[in-house]
Amino acid sequence: MKQHEKEILKKEKVVSYLHSALTDDDFTSIMNLETTKQIWYELNKMYHGDKKMKIIKLLTLKREFEMLKMKESESVKEYTSK
């Protein structure tokens, strides 16, 4: 029984450490979660997303990069002020 109590205390400490290591915005996203597994899953989803989300982010970055290309009619000054 004593070992079980130690394990529970250890898990609560880890949750507390995770809470204290996060920014306020991240903390508010996970503050209602109780287990380290739930917290890890949510943080992973927030920062890495699922496969579909990664593809969307990549396509958005590609589009932004394409829009940064200098047009023939632009001067260097106009281009660098974007």
Q: Model confidence over 46-65: pLDDT tens digits? A: 888 778 888 888 999 999 99
Q: Supply 66's token pair.
A: 């394409």
Tell me what percent of the residues of the chain surpass a pLDDT of 90: 18
CA distances from 33 to 28, 70, 82 (A): 10, 47, 42
- Total Cβ atoms within 10 A of residue 19: 14
Residue 53 domain boundaries: 2-80
Number of domains, the chain: 1
pLDDT, residue 44, reads: 87
pLDDT, residue 73, reads: 87
- Characterize 52-68 residue by residue with b for buried, 16 or more Cβ atoms within 10 angstroms of its Cβ, and e for exposed: eeeeeeeeeeeeeeeee
Reply yes or no on whether the pLDDT at 82 is more than 80: no
